[in-house]
Amino acid sequence: LCNFPPPNGDTPSLMTHQDVETLFHEFGHCLHTIVTRAKYGRFAGTHVPGDFVEAPSQMLQNWVWDKKVLDTFAADYKDPSKKIPAEIVKKMNDA
């Protein structure tokens, strides 16, 4: 789930875009389980039909492709005022 790279010397733990997408996806599964309001556990969280089990996590993982969302947390670790340029986000989305 969260097998992200550890810090290395003076360099903090940095996540790739794919790592962030995985984190958001898995957090979607966590939220799905936490907010479930089912009478019986066998119908709660990820114990739902296959066509819905991935819906919350896939919706959440799509947020990491949105420049406004990325700007809330993604930045150059040496200069947090430097955000990912819009043209790079566009290229990522177009790829």
Per CATH, the number for 17-94 is 3.40.390.10
Question: What pLDDT shows up at residue 1?
Answer: 63
Annotated catalytic sites, by residue?
26
Question: What pLDDT shows up at residue 44?
Answer: 80
Cβ proximity of 56 and 28 under 8 Å: yes
77-87 confidence digits (pLDDT tens): 999 999 999 99
12-64 confidence digits (pLDDT tens): 999 999 999 999 999 999 998 888 888 887 778 778 887 788 999 999 999 99
Q: What is the pTM of this model?
A: 0.85
